[in-house]
Amino acid sequence: MLDTHERKYVQPSIDHTAQWFLKKGRTANQVTILALFIGLATSVLYISGYPLIAVFFLWFSGFLDAVDGTMARHTKTSPFGTVMDITFDRMVETGIILAIAYVHPELLWPLLLLSTSIIVSITIFLVVGAVSEKAGIKSFYYQAGVAERTEGFLLFSLMILFPQYLLWTTLIFFLVESFTGMQRFMEAKRILS
């Protein structure tokens, strides 16, 4: 929801950073790979006991994830770049969930529920994008929802920074992600029927 409706406020800094990378001769795919490694560092930092730095790395990786897409749109988008982008996003999210499970094994079941809701929601998102004839500014049809990347980062940040509320933030994340999956499923029924 925030990605769709509030991006306009951060887009100038995304554009500026994208132009800076392009002037340095970097490609969108290179920035995608950089965002992956910074995002995966979030998990390592969290396990190592540095939650504040982990959250900073998480958000920096998300910022670079937005920058790479802007770079691609200013140059030439590639289908493989889209595959890398979506795959690496899930790898970062999975890494965070695994890191939290490692530090808090007593919450394995709620974290498995969260993982399942993310898998279902992203599956609907990807299948609708693949079978839809609509196209947005991205290289596939983008289904907006209550839980987009920014909401996920907000909830992951709460999970990392406030372990005393980890059970509740995990369950809230599960409910928000499940609602988003149902929302996307109903939209798919409407636009694909």
What are the tens digits of pLDDT across the range 81-106?
Answer: 989 999 999 999 999 999 999 999 99
Residue 1: pLDDT band (50, 70, 90) is low
pLDDT of residue 140 exceeding 70, the answer is no
- Percent of the chain past pLDDT 90, that is, above it, reads 68
Joined together, the tokens standing for residue 183 give: 């929302």
Distance between CA atoms of 16 and 4, rounded to whole angstroms?
20
Domains in the chain: boundaries: 2-192
Residue with the bigger pLDDT between 116 and 134: it is 116
Distance between CA atoms of 42 and 94, rounded to whole angstroms?
11
Q: Which CATH number fits domain 2-192: 1.20.120.920, 1.10.760.10, 1.20.120.1760, 1.10.579.10?
A: 1.20.120.1760
Q: How many CA atoms lie within 13 A of 23 on its CB side?
A: 6
Distance between CA atoms of 175 and 178, rounded to whole angstroms?
5
pTM: 0.88
